[in-house]
Structure 1
Amino acid sequence: MPTALQSLFLGTNNIDRLYGLLIVAGLFAVTLACYAVGVFYVSGGLVFIPFYAAIVGMVGALWVGYRQHGLLFAWAVTYAALLGYMAYSSFFGLWGRPLAYRISSFLASDGLGFFGVQALILGAIAFSAGHVAQVGLKAVKRHAATTK
């Protein structure tokens, strides 16, 4: 019997690891592609929280919370979307620089850490909203079934 903490972090509905990795990699690729082709855009100036990447990550984390797959998975989904933006800014935003410079820019610990903290905060908020929506929907269904 899993403890409450295990259920929170790992979820009560287990997801296949390969399927989970495909979801995370897919969100990374979709976010990167959307920025690369111009579906998402950078508003200019100093960007601390990339808006569209944060929205994609939070929608993914909301789904994870609703499906009860665990907070760790929600963080990974949000981080993948934010890393998609980071890959865009590193590889497409620094186009004139050598490839080694662009790779080192993408793998810089300050950027990875900064987006990691954003993923923790945004992912936890969206996961909580999804979890509350799922619990609320169950309560409404249970109430509707008892009043018939």
Structure 2
Amino acid sequence: MVPPRPSARTLLLGPDRFQRRLDVLLAVTLGVLTAVAYAVGVFELGGGVVLVPFHAALVGLVAAAGVGYRRGGLVPAWLVAFTPHVGLSVTWAFLWLSTGRPLGDRLAFVFDPAGLTVAAVTAAVVAGFGYAWGRLFALAAARLRPEPNGNA
């Protein structure tokens, strides 16, 4: 059975308040875990100019696909794709910038409008692809699932 079409509010925010809170918790967790992964060397940045960090984008893509698969909202999908990029910025600001910089300079790096804009746009593209793939996979799984009365 194909699920009914969601309302615009449900499509943007998700089905219910509990799920939205879980999505925010997931986003914060992904941001922290991505920051730690970059800090300990599990994830690495390539050489040259890095506009789209591969590992942060991959984490966001998979998480956004998960949100799409369980029919969450587009905003939570964007959020789970955005926080890994912020996690990378936090790692960069607090571990990789030259030592001796004041806390204000490090926070200014994390909250730099240009950097946040690049991360937000990247997250929108990544989340859009991930969410679409997740929704398509959920739709295909729903169509292939046998009917409860035994009909295929």
Q: Same fold (TM over 0.5)?
A: yes
Contact 1:63-1:127 within 8 A present in 2 as well: yes
Q: CA deviation at 1:92?
A: 1.6
Moved more, 99-108 or 131-140: 99-108
1:146 aligns with 2:151: yes
What's the CA shift string for 1:82-129, capped at 9, x where partnerless?
A: 111111222222132222211111111110111001111110110000
TM-score, length of structure 2 as denominator length: 0.87
Instruction: Indicate yes or no: 2:120 matched with 1:133.
Output: no
Q: What's the RMSD between the two structures over aligned residues?
A: 2.0
Q: Tell me the number of residue pairs that the alignment of Structure 1 and Structure 2 aligns.
A: 146
Q: Give the match for residue 26 of structure 2.
A: 23
Question: Could you list the runs of 5+ residues in structure 2 that have no partner in the other structure?
Answer: none
1:12 CA drift (Å): 3.4
Are residues 1:88 and 2:91 paired? Answer: yes
Matched, 1:11 2:34: no
CA distance in 2, matches of 1:84, 1:35: 9
1:65-76, aligned counterparts within 5 Å? Answer: 65-76=68-79
Structure 1: give runs of 5+ residues left out of the alignment: none
Q: Which amino acid letter does the alignment assign opposite residue 96 of structure 2? A: G
Matching residue of 1:107: 111
After the TM superposition, which parts of structure 1 deviate over 6 Å for at least 4 consecutive aligned residues? none
**TM-score normalised according to structure 1 size:** 0.89
**Equivalent residue for 2:42, pick from 39, 43, 48:** 39
Output the CA distance in 2 between the equivalents of 1:30 and 1:68.
Answer: 24
What's the counterpart of residue 49 of structure 1?
A: 52
Distance 1:17 1:8, change over 3 A: closer
